[in-house]
Amino acid sequence: MAQSMYEIRVAGTVPEEDLRDMGAVRVAQDQVNTVLYGVADQTALYGLLERLRALGLDVVEVRRVPDLSLGVDEAPEPERGDRA
């Protein structure tokens, strides 16, 4: 079984300088959302969620997905109707 990671969907865009500070997180733009990939554990997830909240960003969805070590260009298509 593949290891899991977390995917976080944020309404709007995350400022570029903040994305650089988030380190290992990969990003994909999806219409008016930003999708962050690569959060490997709950400790990192909670830290990232707190950071996004401090930036005033609206987190739309958080879900656990298989870690397929995909690049941003190969990121999976978002599933419609699977919202938190």
CATH code for the domain of 28: 3.30.70.980
Average confidence score pLDDT of the chain: 75
Parent domain of 35: 4-68
Residue 42 domain-assigned (yes or no): yes
Residue 58 domain-assigned (yes or no): yes
Residue spans of beta strands (DSSP E) within the chain: 4-11, 26-30, 33-39, 59-66
Residue 81 domain-assigned (yes or no): no
- Residue 72: the pLDDT is 44
- Residue 50: the pLDDT is 92
Residue 83 domain-assigned (yes or no): no
* More reliable by pLDDT, 26 or 39: 39
Task: Name which of 7, 15, 24 is nearest 61 in CA terms.
Answer: 7
- Total domains, the chain: 1
Mean pLDDT for 33-60 is 88
